[in-house]
Structure 1
Amino acid sequence: MGNSKAERDEPLTPAGRLFLRPDFHQIIHIIMGFKNPIDTDAVKSEITNSVMIKLPRFSSLIVRNSSGGEHWRKTQVDVDHHVIVIEDPVSDASAGDEEAVNDYVADLSVSSPLSSDKPLWEVHLLTAHNCMVFRIHHALADGISLMSMLQECCRRADRPNDQRLSTTGSVINSSLNKKNRMRELWKLVVGLFMNVVFIMEIMLRAFWVKDRRTVVSGGAGVELWPRKLATAKFRFDDMKQVKKAVADATINDVLSGIISSGLSRYLDMRSPKALRDGVQITGLTMVNLRKQPGLQELSKMIRGNSGIRWGNKFGTVLFPVYYRQGGGDPLQHVKTAKKMMDQKKHSLEAHFSYYFGMCCFGPKLSSWLSYRTVCNTTFTISNVVGLKEEITIAGNPVTYMRMNMTSIPHAISMHMLSYGGRADLQILVAKDIVPDPEVLAKCFEDALLQMKEAAAPKEFGK
């Protein structure tokens, strides 16, 4: 009897149960473009022999016992049932490959759940566009875990016999683990004070405090509205140049400044003079809570180190940005974002949100609290570590890699992933609220270029 299926089942984590709730049903999309035409048989063979299939959650079904408890149950994986090949173009002839793929993924984000009669992942091969869309239910893992898995599965394009890959950055909160943050006693005092302030703020957000309405505000039910998807493209070297111009800044501070400046620019275009200078618009930022945040450490876990946690291990922090008419001083956006995030480094806001929003209560109440918090804020932003070197899959070089998630009540969700010296920000919007995400993407790109221009004299002494 000790070998019964029920006894071998693994219970879902609190985060896993949250992401299975109907109002928080999240699927992660990883989009990869290829240099050469896709060989579907080679891709299927690569998946069949990959590390991914050996990971328990990628070869397990969600089952519910008689008392309603949800568990992972090991099953046989038939790769043919997970790989969906689409040979015809997914958009009209006038659309380029990027626009066609973005439209396809935008449709998936509201209209195509994963089937529960097989493990919760799929691979869509868009052969007419040399593109692969990897769909993974958020109950299986977060973005950091998935990147660590890809690092183990893929090979370097320049050295196909060397499977070891480097990483380019860190999740948006990696600087929460600064080595010297407690070196002075006053930092401990400030940290304790900030704990109280930020924890109270996130609790109030879950119940009644909400952002002022703007032309980009979402709300309850907006997760069901049709979506559009656009991509803002950044050079990683440009972001590094801006980072050097602001003392002790991080890439995450630069991204935060880009979002702040870009949103101000966009609001100026959509609703000129409708907002007073300094109005706060609040976002939710994803925060990695692992003690060992790097992909190399998670790769050890994939190879059998059970001391490092796979799956979902992240919290959220409130990220306020402030509208500046005309865009304001480009570098000031970075400085303001850095000051705010430095304060949050000394707080337990992210840890509190993880336990308060996922672990302390049952999935129904946790889902309600998380949903309310989203409805009372304006946007989502995450930055997931990527790979420095270009990779190949089944011998085919990957030319770009992007990440996004299915829709939530926010009208704007933004997810940045760095790869091969580039950083692409996917911008998923409710198209009835933000009809022109390409314009918003251009606002972000222009914000970085202006920051780079402002940083140049400080870096080079011009």
Structure 2
Amino acid sequence: MASQGAFSDEPLSPAGRLFIDPKTDVIIHVIASGKSLIDIDFAKSALESSVMVQHPRFHSLLVRDENGLEHWRRTKIDIDQHVIVFNNRLDKSGKFIDDMSQGFNNEDDDGEEAVNQYVADLSVSSPLSTDKPLWEIHVLTAHKCAVFRIHHALGDGFSLMSMLMAGCGKVEDVADHQDAAVPTVAQVKRAESKRGKGRDWFRLLGVISSFFKTIQYTLMFVVEFVLRNLFVCDKKTVISGGDGVELWPRKLATAKFLLEDMREVKKAIPNTTINDVLYAVISSGLSRYLEHRTPNALHDGLRLTGVAMVNLRANPGVQELSEVMKKDSEARWGNKFGAILLPVYYHKAGKDPLVWLKRAKVVVDMKKHSLEAYVTYRFRDLVMNLLGPKYVCLLYYKLLCNTTFTISNFMGPVEKITIAGYPVSSMKFNTSSLPQALSIYMLSYVGRVEMQLLVAKDIIPDPEFLAKCFEDALLEMRMATIGINKA
């Protein structure tokens, strides 16, 4: 039985109320894999004393008062209810094999594919129980991995990444995990202004020009965003989803990249970022896939629209948990993000793969000049306060139905980490299913980027080929960049 004790109930944030609606219910999945077997008893003991379990959100129940309003209520944690252990090996379909010995004595060549399918099944058919705090960890001992399942109402990706990193250590500190240093996370570098004598007039002109660009692009993109919420939708293609597709069976595939390759490609065009390269890879890869599925059926320049979530905190990197947990800290815990629309245009393959990067940079530069993410964040809260969560959920769901895919991208640790003393060799994340047939999730870890592709398998039956389209797109851009450097 839940007990308040000395704590009073805390109301859910507007975004938290959005993510508990049945049509927009979202669970975040983080897959942490390693090379060694997991000691369950040690892992549970470490978890009980971890910063994650100590955080109020992770030992609070979701309750509703007599008026139907949702609140967080403190309760005691029973670790055994949250750590779910599976000893048997998974087959390629994500189902458990009865013979336990197969999980430990044989080389598991299909482990990643099997775990992917297991998580894909969770994304559709396995909601979190409200009888306990909204998180759990599935430990797949035979596959040497753990799947963290955390409800989006507890916090956004940046808050949860802060939580995870604050409870982790570096591999070299594994012998003394409790005192281990918090891992280093890649930070977003901001452009520094260059000052010089006699340049004040030009700087003033630049500020004025930037101000008017911000107004222009903000108005243009916000109007488009509102129209997308109401009735404007993408043309239907073989990768389009729609109303009810969030209930369809899922498949999950992984595309893998090297950050060094992306850094090499971004050198081809001045002032280009890793995000520009990722956007170019997605644009090129989707065009390749569509040409494969429906050759010569689509007109050149056909637009497909993606929805991307943007962190709005003052610190664009992952915050220290000690700052997040301070009551009056500016590094706010919870859900603080806006949404932007990212258009992708279908084009047949040309001679110059770097054309995709040039197009991507133009779009991203315009988005950087706009306040689209901030305005959509405030718009969501305004509708929530005036009309209630029902209408916010309807608008959000309609937006997903009117667009083609979702993108989410995070910078992860730059060095290998341990979780509860367990060395992690691979990290990936995704969420539960959405009405779109394609969702794209990217996380960097120790010089690599793993892109999870969650698809409705009756619409996109071959996500492995789609993953290869993305990998080939980056490879071609890299080869073109090397050719330019040699010339």
Please report how far the alpha carbon of residue 324 of structure 1 lies from its aligned counterpart in structure 2 after TM superposition. Answer: 1.1
Preserved CA contact (<8 Å) 1:169 1:418? no
Deviation for aligned residue 1:457:
3.4
Q: Residue 358 of structure 1: CA displacement?
A: 4.5
Distance across 1 between alignment mates of 2:187 and 2:26: 25
- Residues of 2 paired with 1:224 and 1:350: CA distance? 28
Distance 2:321 2:347 in 1: 40
Q: Is the contact between residue 265 and residue 327 of structure 1 (CA under 8 Å) also seen in structure 2? A: no
- 2:360 is matched with 337
Q: Match of 1:228? A: 251
| Counterpart residue number, 2:155 | 141
**Structure 1 unaligned blocks of 5 or more:** none
For 1:70, the aligned partner's letter is E
Closer, same or farther: CA 298–396 of 1 in aligned 2, 3 Å = closer
Moved more, 179-188 or 349-358: 179-188
Within a 5 Å distance, the mapping from 1:344-363 to structure 2 comes to 344-361=367-384, 362-363=388-389
2:171 aligns with 157
Q: Deviations over 1:336-374 (max 9, x none)?
A: 112111111121211122222344321100000001111
Specify the alignment match of 1:97 in structure 2.
Answer: 111
Distance 1:89 1:28, change over 3 A: same
- Secondary structure at the aligned position of 2:444 is classed as strand
Classify 1:132/1:199 alpha carbon distance in 2 versus 1 (closer, same or farther; 3 Å).
Answer: same
Give the distance between the partners of 1:134 and 1:4, measured in 2 at CA: 26
How many Å apart are 1:397 and its aligned residue? 1.0
Per the TM alignment, residue 74 of structure 1 is displaced from its structure 2 partner at its CA by: 0.6
**Superimposed CA distance per residue, residues 31-58 of structure 1 (whole angstroms, 9 cap, x where no aligned partner):** 0101101111111111111000111101
The separation in 2 between residues aligned to 1:315 and 1:328, in whole angstroms, is 37
**1:296-331 CA-partner distances (Å, limit 9, x unpaired):** 455532477633101111111010011111266322
Q: Counterpart of 1:108? A: 122
* TM-score between both structures, scaled by the size of structure 2: 0.89
Q: CA deviation at 1:165?
A: 1.4
1:204 counterpart = 2:218: no
**Does the 8 Å CA contact 2:167/2:182 hold for their aligned counterparts?**
no
Matched with 1:412 is 438
Q: TM-score, normalised by structure 1?
A: 0.94
Name the SS of the counterpart of 1:44 in structure 2.
helix
The answer for the alignment partner of 2:49 in structure 1 is 49
Distance in 2, Cα, partners of 1:422 & 1:431: 27
1:372-391 matched pairs, under 5 angstroms:
372-391=398-417
The aligned counterpart of 1:436 is 462
The alignment's C-alpha RMSD in Å is: 2.0
Instruction: Name the residue aligned to 1:58.
Output: 58
3-state secondary structure, aligned to 2:442: strand
CA distances 1:369-424 after superposition (whole Å, capped 9, x unpaired):
00111101000111112011101123221010000001001100000000111110
Q: Tell me how far apart the structure 2 counterparts of residues 219 and 406 of structure 1 sit (CA, whole Å).
A: 16
Q: Percent identity?
A: 54
Partner SS for 2:221 = helix
Measured against aligned partners, the alpha-carbon deviations of 1:257-278 in whole angstroms (never above 9, x if no partner) come to: 0000000000010000011111
One-letter code aligned to 2:304: I
Larger radius of gyration: 2
2:429·2:441 contact (CA, 8 Å) conserved in 1? yes
Q: Is the 8 A contact 2:58 2:135 kept in 1?
A: yes
1 CA distance for matches of 2:350 and 2:306?
A: 18
* Cα shift readout 1:164-206 (whole Å, capped 9, x = no counterpart): 3111255xxxx8x756599521111111011111010000001
Find the counterpart in structure 1 of residue 32 from structure 2: 32
Aligned to 1:68: 68
8 Å CA contact retained: 1:261, 1:327? no
CA distance in 2: counterparts of 1:381 and 1:215, whole angstroms: 18
d(CA) in 1 for partners of 2:130, 2:53: 17
Higher mean alpha-carbon deviation, 45-54 vs 346-355, is at 346-355
Report if the CA contact (8 A) 1:301-1:308 is conserved: yes
Contact 1:147 1:385 in 2 (8 A): no
Contact 2:187 2:316 in 1 (8 A): no
The equivalent residue for 1:166 is 184
Amino acid at match of 1:335: K
1:76 is paired with a residue whose SS is: coil
Kept in 1: contact 2:4–2:73 (CA 8 A): no
Measured in 2, the distance between the counterparts of 1:110 and 1:231 equals: 18
SS of alignment partner, residue 270 of structure 2? coil
Distance 1:130 1:255 in 2: 29
Match of 2:408, SS state, is strand
Secondary structure of the equivalent of 2:424?
strand
Judge which range, 271-280 or 332-341, deviates more: 332-341
AA aligned opposite 1:166:
T
